[in-house]
């Protein structure tokens, strides 16, 4: 396999905040050049990698959607002393931020630290409360006039983090949500280079999922696919969380059942996994899935939609942790689903 942990590492270590996905987009386009027939970038920043199927006649159109963006922070105000106040672009837990090193993308990239009051100075009463985002600030170690020359309100910043290999094939870093799924998309395209298939595949690395799943929605309106599959991360098993809300890491991608999901497409994914002996796990939802699937399903006349997820622990922190085999198996599951498709099945998706 050409695209392995190194690709995921590369994708997670670049920056690509919602609405500002440039860094991640550049890496992805470079990698996908040899795998897709055509690559385009749309108005909202989504990357569409098209791969044409074989055969005459109308090809079923399959859209895969893995969001490209990651949660980031933005400079909301420069306070006296040159300290930066923050807004979030996507949902952070502010309790994970004090003491983090950050990179501020000003006129040049700048290293900063999110300030925290030392225990010697804070009162026991203060330590009982977590600080909301509005009380946090970034120290750039620069004089105020230098800060004002190099940084302006609206500049982005991210937590500064290299991706780390843990034991057992686990990888930990920022932006695993959702570069793990983007990597699965690339693995799928690579696998499709080896397989024969009749569908036209539109693999979309969608922009701005973390602020409303709008990249997938607008891309789907343009592509008007016959079916769509969202690829995202889901919560991995951990202590203190009800068992039916989480799944173990390393036991395969999760295929979700629920109102947002087309029932036959769901069953087809399970059948595909069984036929190709790929591991999978069951996910349940009773409404919103919190992924691109939610918006995809109701675009235009409605799109038969499914969801494949990669289990991940510590979501929306800078130590998001996955097992790489789940990423690989998600990519292979998607590729085989596409290769096994036929027009009859696709046409049947609107016949209940």
Partner 1 sequence: MKDLIKSLAGVSAPAGAEQEVIRAIRARVEGVADEVYTDTLGNLYAIKKPAAGASSSVKTVLVAAHADEPGVTVVDIDDEGFLRIAPLGHLAAADLVGRRVRFVRSKILGVIYAEGDAKRNAVDFSQLFVDIAVSDQEEARKLVQIGDAAAFAYEMQEVTPRVLLGHALDNRVACAVAINLLASANVPFQLVVVFSVQQQVGSRGIQVAGYRINPDLAMVLDATPTGDTPKAKRLNLTMGSGVAIKALDAGMAVAPALVQHLIEVAEKAQIPYQIDVSPEAHTDAANLQIARSGIPTCGLSVPTRYLDTPSQMMHMDDVDAMGKLLQAWMASERLFDV
Partner 2 sequence: MLLKALTEAFGPSGFEDEVRHLLREEVIPLADRVSTDALGSLIVEKNPDAEGSRVLFAAHMDEVGLMVVGIEDNGLLRFRPLGGVDPRILVAKPVRIGAERRYGVIGAKAIHLQQPEERTKPFEMQQLLIDIGANTREEAERLVEIGDPVVFATEYEEFGDRRAKAKSFDDRVGCAVLVELLKQPTTLPLTVAFTVQEETGLRGAGPVAYRTKPDLAMVVEGTVCFDVGEAKSHEQSTAQGAGPALSVVDGKTIANTKFREFIKSVADEEAIPWQYRRTVGGANDAGVIHLSEMGILTAAVSIPTRYIHAPAQVIHLDDYHNTIRLLSAVIERIEKGGHPIS
Distance separating alpha carbons of residues 251 and 336, to the nearest angstrom: 18
Q: Cα–Cα distance between 224 and 258 in angstroms, integer?
A: 23
**Least distance to partner 1 from the beta carbon of 93, Å?**
16
Q: Is 126 a catalytic residue?
A: no
What span, in angstroms and rounded, lies between the C-alpha atoms of 181 and 163? 16
**Dihedral through CA 323, CA 263, CA 64, CA 206, nearest 10?**
-90
Q: How far apart are CA 340 and CA 346, in angstroms?
A: 11
From residue 127 to residue 146, what is the string marking binding to partner 1 with x (rule CB under 8 A)?
A: -------x------------
Give rounded-to-5 percent helix, strand, coil for the chain.
30, 25, 40
State yes or no: residue 219 binds partner 1 (CB under 8 A).
Answer: yes
> Given the rule CB under 8 A, which of 18-26, 142-150, 260-268, 272-280 is the region that contacts partner 2?
260-268
How many residues touch partner 1 (CB under 8 A)?
Answer: 32
Considering only 78, 102, 188, 203, the residue that binds partner 1 (CB under 8 A) is: 78
Taking CB within 5 to 8 Å according to partner kind, which of partner 2, partner 1, none is near residue 298? partner 2
Q: Which does 78 bind (CB under 5 to 8 A by kind): partner 1, partner 2, none?
A: partner 1
Sole window of 18-26, 60-68, 177-185, 302-310 interacting with partner 1 (rule: CB under 8 A): 18-26
Of 234, 243, 200, 228, the closest CA to residue 300 belongs to 228
Q: Which does 45 bind (CB under 5 to 8 A by kind): partner 2, partner 1, none?
A: partner 1
48 binds partner 1 (CB under 8 A): no
Do 255 and 266 contact (CB within 8 A), yes or no? yes
**Is residue 87 close enough to count as binding partner 1 by CB under 8 A?**
yes
Nearer to partner 1 by Cβ, of 217 and 346: the residue is 217
Please give the backbone phi and psi of residue 190, each rounded to the nearest 5 degrees, phi first: -65, -40
**Position among 6, 55, 77, 109 found at the interface with partner 1 (CB under 8 A):** 77
Q: Is residue 21 within 8 Å of 90, Cβ to Cβ?
A: no
Q: Give 199 or 214: the residue with its C-beta nearer to partner 1.
A: 214
194 to each of 35, 104, 134, 335, 339, how far by Cα in Å? 11, 42, 51, 10, 10
**3-state DSSP assignment of residue 166:** coil
Candidate residues 12, 14, 23, 45; the one interacting with partner 1 per rule CB under 8 A: 45
State the residues that interact with partner 2 by CB under 8 A.
242-244, 257-262, 282, 284, 286-288, 297-298, 300-304, 349-352
Kindly list the catalytic residues: 209
């Amino acid at each position: 396999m050409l695209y392995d942990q190194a690709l995921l590492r590369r994708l997670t270590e670049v920056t690509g905040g919602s609405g500002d996905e440039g860094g991640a987009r550049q890496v992805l386009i470079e990698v996908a050049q040899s795998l897709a027939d055509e690559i385009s970038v749309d108005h909202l920043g989504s990357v569409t990698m098209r791969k044409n199927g074989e055969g005459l006649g109308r090809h079923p159109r399959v859209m895969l959607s893995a969001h490209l963006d990651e949660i980031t922070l933005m400079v909301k105000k420069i306070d006296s002393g040159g300290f930066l106040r923050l807004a979030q672009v996507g949902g952070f837990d502010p309790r994970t931020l004090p003491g983090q090193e950050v990179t501020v993308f000003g006129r040049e990239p700048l290293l900063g630290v999110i300030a925290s009051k030392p225990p010697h100075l804070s009162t026991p009463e203060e330590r009982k409360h977590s600080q909301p985002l509005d009380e946090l600030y970034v120290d750039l170690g620069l004089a105020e006039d230098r800060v004002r020359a190099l940084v302006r309100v609206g500049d982005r910043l991210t937590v500064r983090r290299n991706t780390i290999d843990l034991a057992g094939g686990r990888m930990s870093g920022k932006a695993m949500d959702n570069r793990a799924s983007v990597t699965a998309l690339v693995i799928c395209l690579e696998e499709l280079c080896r397989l024969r298939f009749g569908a036209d595949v539109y693999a979309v690395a969608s922009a701005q999922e973390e602020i409303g799943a709008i990249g997938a929605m607008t891309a789907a309106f343009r592509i008007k696919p016959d079916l769509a599959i969202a690829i995202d991360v889901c919560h991995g098993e951990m202590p203190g969380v009800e068992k039916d809300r989480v799944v173990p890491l390393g036991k395969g991608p999760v295929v979700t059942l629920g109102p947002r999901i087309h029932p036959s497409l769901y069953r087809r994914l399970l059948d595909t996994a069984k036929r190709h002996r790929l591991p999978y796990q069951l996910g349940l939802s009773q409404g919103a899935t919190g992924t691109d699937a939610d918006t995809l399903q109701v675009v235009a006349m409605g799109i038969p939609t499914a969801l494949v997820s990669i289990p991940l622990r510590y979501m929306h922190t800078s130590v998001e942790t996955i097992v790489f085999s789940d990423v690989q198996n998600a990519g292979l599951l998607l590729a085989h689903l596409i290769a096994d498709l036929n027009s009859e099945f696709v046409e049947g998706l609107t016949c209940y």
